């Protein structure tokens, strides 16, 4: 690999340390890649040319004085456009926030800046992170680098596509029902959702507060861990932040899976799963067994109902969280004779169809007479799923499944059928309901050359075990394919 | 289970000024989604408490210290309309 834009964070860090490359060189490489791919892929909503250039120069200056700040100093990263960035437009890919420049940095962004990371820009998403294809963006869809006729998944589709295409070395996203892992799977990169509460959500524009968790998208399992470590840890500004110690997972990257008990989830297979996905999953499970893991099939009946519970709880929380967009303090305002008319017109004009649909759904589910039958019952189903998982994690150390029932689907294939789109999250939602960590690792390609993701799920705070197995999956898969678009771009470099 | 939805009432509660045509589209889409979601009602959950925080954490307290807040002018600069240090909105009350 000749191009700096294709390096892992770890390798780029080595190049920086030896002086073979500077932060400015790395930034030049990803900006050049973006200039070749953005017209087709549209990974970014905003590229912060000036801010990134300044950050790279400062990083190089620190390094010249031996004051470098750690593994992300000088590394060009992308951020999903739902992280507040001081002075830099933060849109959530919504008209209602178009032009908004936050007066503060989210905690994750502040920690990344402290670590010297170079923030290249803000990536495209489904509006307010609601969606599974990045087609619900007010600024147009992102396309999959492996085949631009296909979606990159979502909602962190811009981040996943940027990492796959080389317009950032790694990225951050948010995962409410699979919004990191599903696009990672569809774009052939690693995507990790940590245990709920390990990464502060302060300054992440809220979607569904009891599910939202921030995590990395990267080119290797080790990179994903490096990014996670850089931002994890308690934050008094996020009341749901976990006050204990962040699990130490680094040593387990090298330990292999001998005698690790792995459960294959029965409910995440069968009808609706593409044969190539099932075959790749079963093949990886067999390889893990051959590497010394103890494999069994396990059943979690509540996984079959998880999607239904999710699509009551998440919209309910959406209807509350998105009440703040009312044309008063930020973003769009459409005028009206009264304050209520102004708010109702602003919201109707500013929100796209999916945000509107979920606000209506959640408002209905929370309204008088329906609260207990829908929202209350969904929250009790959630308890049942958590209890089932706790029992299963006494028998096995980790659970495995596909990360998505299908590979990347065509643009427009599901936009007219909201329920069909929701069903694409069936593999990822259970870990959000339970607040447990889960990761997707690319394990192969289907017959059309589209990536397949393999999911590893651990118990709450079980990051060490999760990374132990994920690293072995990565070694066994030896996934070193590249999107064709990059071969084409390479000719022009 | 068919779900009855007074969509105009729901839209009013959510402060969304939607057209008749939009209301009609959303009503039928919500019907399909809620029919799927209503499957939760068939799950026996007697004796189970609802989950709000998946790890069961309760309130996180911190010291009640005086800290600088966001700069007022910077915050107001992002607002659609402001005057004399206030957000400005159309009349909320008659007279």
DSSP A199: B
- Round to whole Å and give the CA distance between A400 and A386: 17
Q: What is the 3-state secondary structure (H, E, C) of A171-189?
A: EEEEECCCCCHHHHHHHCC
pLDDT digits (tens, 9 = 90+) for A10-37: 999 999 999 999 999 999 999 999 999 9
- Is a pLDDT exceeding 50 seen at residue A318? yes
What is the predicted pLDDT for the residue at A488?
64
What is the ipTM for the molecules in this complex?
0.94
CB atoms within 10 A of CB B88: 12
Task: Indicate if the pLDDT at residue B60 is higher than 90.
Answer: no
Select the residue from B4, B13, B16, B72 to test the A interface by mutation, using most A Cβ atoms within 10 A: B16
pLDDT greater than 70 at residue B1: no
Q: Which tokens go with A165?
A: 């295409």
Query: Which residue, among A147, A184, A151, A21, has the nearest Cα to A488 in the 3D structure?
Result: A147
Q: Is A80 among the catalytic positions?
A: yes
Domains of chain A from N-terminus onward: 4-249+479-492 (3.90.1300.10)
Identify the band that residue A489 occupies on the pLDDT scale cut at 50, 70 and 90. Answer: low
A155: annotated active-site residue: yes
Per the CB < 8 A criterion, the answer to whether A136 and A183 are in contact is: no
Please report, rounded to a whole number, the percentage of residues in chain A having pLDDT higher than 70: 98
Q: What is the mean pLDDT of residues A431-460?
A: 98
Over range A327-333, report the average pLDDT. 96
pLDDT score at A147 = 97
Contact (Cβ atoms closer than 8 angstroms) between residue A228 and residue A473: no
Beta-strand ranges (E) seen in A230-353 are 261-265, 294-298
pLDDT at position A305 over 80 = yes
B30–A367: do the CB atoms touch at under 8 Å? no
**Of A107-121, A254-268, A315-329, B52-66, which range is least confident?**
B52-66
* Position A268 pLDDT exceeds 90: yes
Spans of all domains in chain B = 7-42
Question: pLDDT tens for residues A387-426?
Answer: 999 999 999 999 999 999 999 999 999 999 998 999 999 9
The least confident of A262-266, A356-360, A422-426 is A422-426
pLDDT at residue number A493: 46
Stretch A424-442: mean pLDDT, rounded? 97
**Residue A471, both tokens:** 């690293």
A136: number of CA atoms within 13 Å, CB side?
A: 28
> To the nearest whole angstrom, how far is the Cα of B23 from the nearest Cα of chain A?
10
Catalytic option among A22, A59, A68, A80 = A80
Give, as one character, the DSSP assignment of residue A123: E
* Tens-digit pLDDT profile for residues A135-179: 999 999 999 999 999 999 999 999 999 999 999 999 999 999 999
Decide: A298 and A399 in contact? Cβ < 8 Å. Answer: yes
From the list A343, A376, A435, the residue facing B15 with the nearest CB is A343
A100 neighbourhood in chain B, CB within 8 Å: 78
pLDDT of amino acid A397: 98
The residue among A1 and A307 whose pLDDT is bigger is: A307
Region at A233 (left for phi over 0; alpha for psi -120 to 50; beta for the rest): left
Q: How far is CA A197 from the centre of its chain?
A: 15
Mutate: best of A208, A355, A361, partner B, most B CBs <10 A: A361
Inter-chain CB pairs, A–B, below 8 Å: 184
Half-sphere exposure of A492 (CA within 13 A, CB side): 10
Which region among A54-68, A182-196, A399-413, B2-16 has the lowest average model confidence (pLDDT)?
B2-16
Which listed residue (A94, A137, A167, A179) is catalytic?
Answer: A179
Identify all chain A residues contacting B22, using CB atoms and an 8 Å cutoff: 356
């Amino acid at each position: 690999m000749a191009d700096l834009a294709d390096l892992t964070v770890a390798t780029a860090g080595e190049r920086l340390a030896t002086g073979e490359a500077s932060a400015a060189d790395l930034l030049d490489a990803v900006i050049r890649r973006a200039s070749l791919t953005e017209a087709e892929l549209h990974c970014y909503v905003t590229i912060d040319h000036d801010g990134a250039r300044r950050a790279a120069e400062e990083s190089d200056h620190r390094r010249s004085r031996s004051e470098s700040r750690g593994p992300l100093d000088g590394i060009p990263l992308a951020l999903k456009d739902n992280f507040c960035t001081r002075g830099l437009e933060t849109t959530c890919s919504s008209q209602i926030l178009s032009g908004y420049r936050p007066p503060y940095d989210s905690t994750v962004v502040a920690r990344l800046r402290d670590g010297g990371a170079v923030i290249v820009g803000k990536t495209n998403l489904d509006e307010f992170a609601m969606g599974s294809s990045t087609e619900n963006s007010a600024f147009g869809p992102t396309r999959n680098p492996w085949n631009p006729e296909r979606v990159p998944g979502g909602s962190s589709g811009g981040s996943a596509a940027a990492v796959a295409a080389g317009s950032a070395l790694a990225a951050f996203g948010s995962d409410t029902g699979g919004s990191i892992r599903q696009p990672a799977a569809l774009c052939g990169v690693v995507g990790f959702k940590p245990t709920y509460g390990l990464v502060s959500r302060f300054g992440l524009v809220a979607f569904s507060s009891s599910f939202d968790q921030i995590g990395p998208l990267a080119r290797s399992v080790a990179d994903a861990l490096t990014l996670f470590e850089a931002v994890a840890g308690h934050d008094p500004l996020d009341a749901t932040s976990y006050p204990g110690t962040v699990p130490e997972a680094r040593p387990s990257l090298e330990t292999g899976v001998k005698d690790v008990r792995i459960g294959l989830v029965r409910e995440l297979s069968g009808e609706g799963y593409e044969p190539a996905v099932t075959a790749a999953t079963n093949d990886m499970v067999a390889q893990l067994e051959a590497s010394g893991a103890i494999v069994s099939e396990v059943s979690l009946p509540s996984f079959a109902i998880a999607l239904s519970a999710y699509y009551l709880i998440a919209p309910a929380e959406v209807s509350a969280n998105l009440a703040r967009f009312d044309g008063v303090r930020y973003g769009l305002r459409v005028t009206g004779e009264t304050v209520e008319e102004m708010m109702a017109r602003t919201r109707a004009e500013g929100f796209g169809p999916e945000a509107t649909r979920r606000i209506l759904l959640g408002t209905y589910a929370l309204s008088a007479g329906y609260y207990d039958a829908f929202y209350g019952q969904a929250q009790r189903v959630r308890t049942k799923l958590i209890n089932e998982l706790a029992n299963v994690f006494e028998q096995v150390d980790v659970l495995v499944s596909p990360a998505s029932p299908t590979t990347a689907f065509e643009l427009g294939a599901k936009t007219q059928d909201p329920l069909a789109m929701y069903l694409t999250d069936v593999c990822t939602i259970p870990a959000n309901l339970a607040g447990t960590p889960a990761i997707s690792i690319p394990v192969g390609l289907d017959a059309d050359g589209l990536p397949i993701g393999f999911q590893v799920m651990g118990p709450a705070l079980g990051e060490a075990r999760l990374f132990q197995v994920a690293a072995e999956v990565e070694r066994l898969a030896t996934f070193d394919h590249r999107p064709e678009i990059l071969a084409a771009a390479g000719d022009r470099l | 289970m068919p779900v009855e939805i007074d969509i105009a009432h729901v839209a009013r509660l959510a402060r969304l000024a939607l057209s008749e045509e939009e209301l009609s589209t959303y009503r039928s889409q919500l019907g399909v989604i809620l029919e799927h979601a209503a499957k939760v009602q068939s799950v026996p959950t007697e004796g189970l408490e609802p989950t709000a925080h998946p790890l069961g954490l309760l309130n996180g307290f911190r010291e009640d210290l005086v800290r600088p807040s966001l700069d007022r002018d910077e915050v107001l600069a992002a607002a659609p309309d402001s005057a004399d240090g206030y957000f400005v909105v159309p009349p909320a009350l008659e007279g």
